[in-house]
Amino acid sequence: MMLVYALFNGTSSSLLKIGINRVTGVELTIKGAFRNPIYSIYRFLRVPIVVVGIVLSTIGFLIYLYALSIYLMSDVKPLTNLSLIVVFLLGIFILKERISKKELAGIATMALGSIFVSMFATEKAETMTQVNIPNMIIFSIIICIIALFFVGMTFIKRNKKSEEYFLAISSGILFGLGVIFTNALLINPQYTLYYFISNPFSYLFAISYLVAIFIEAIAFSSGRLIYIGPIMSILTIAIPVLGASIIFNENLIILFEGALIIPLSFLKLIGIILIIIGTLIAYPKFGNLKPEEKIDNPIKEKT
């Protein structure tokens, strides 16, 4: 089941990358897209391959949710890393993209961290019994500020490598926030239309995912699938795990009779540290750029 999820997720990213390059009439930058977001979305949705990519991504997400509903989280989470393999293969062999050794080392470190984070995730039934609303509000605000910070950095450091790096992180953070809202929505759910319509987490999930997809599309317009895809996927795993300890009372470190006990869940902390180290390794260099690395922002028109 998770192999099917990985295929859907990886293929959707590849189709979005190809489709975004066919979008016309829109300035494919954050500033240009948000200048008239409704028109920008309209131009994106006019490209069939973009729509197919969004549909496949949605199907993959539904498969992931279904897997979580019937299997243990500790069994499902590690298998989400299969999508990283699919993205790498598609980026190398289909899109013919290249990646530097430094970037590869950073992504590999992040991937190792995501494996630590996901393999030792505690089971949903044991920990996710209630939502700490005040903590969720504070955590969500902080996460949104961080995401906006990385988006804002694209206005300061304008080149391809910096833009794909900052937008990939921003999109991944918002996707991760969407997963948290989804988890909150699925705690003791009532599978009725009224439940989902009246639950505020439904709208928070939709907003975070729509904005994340929009930023992802801008990132793909000037970046590489082989670089953007893994960063986004890894942060989609890391952010929910970090939020789970704050919002869903999931323990990262257990204290027992005054002694520090290091259970398997402690390895999630190591995983988060590795992800942070990996993002620092993959951080792009600025300064003298090659001509092909500079970003031009003309409005694409039909020829």
Question: Higher confidence at residue 249 or residue 156?
Answer: 156
Q: Return the structure tokens found at 130.
A: 């209630």
Lowest mean pLDDT among 43-52, 69-78, 163-172: 69-78
Query: 3-state SS of 196-261?
Result: HHHCHHHHHHHHHHHHHHHHHHHHHHHCCHHHHHHHHHHHHHHHHHHHHHHHCCCCCCEEECCEEE
Confidence bin at 297 (pLDDT 50/70/90): very low
Question: What's the N-to-C CA distance of the chain in angstroms?
Answer: 43
Give pLDDT, residue 219. Answer: 86
Smallest CA-to-CA distance from 270 within 123, 119, 106, 142 is with 119
Answer yes or no: are the C-beta atoms of 154 and 166 closer than 8 Å: yes
Confidence bin at 224 (pLDDT 50/70/90): confident
pTM tops 0.85: no
d(CA 132, CA 184): 10
Helix (H) or strand (E) holding 133: helix 133-153
On the question of pLDDT at 163 being above 70, the answer is yes
Q: What is the pLDDT of residues 183-213, one digit of tens each?
A: 788 777 777 888 888 888 889 988 998 888 8
Answer yes or no: are the C-beta atoms of 9 and 86 closer than 8 Å: yes
Answer yes or no: are the C-beta atoms of 169 and 229 closer than 8 Å: no
Average pLDDT, the chain: 77
Q: What is the pLDDT of residues 65-121, one digit of tens each?
A: 777 667 665 566 667 777 778 888 888 888 888 888 888 898 888 888 887 776 655
In the chain, DSSP finds a helix count (H) and a strand count (E) of 14, 2
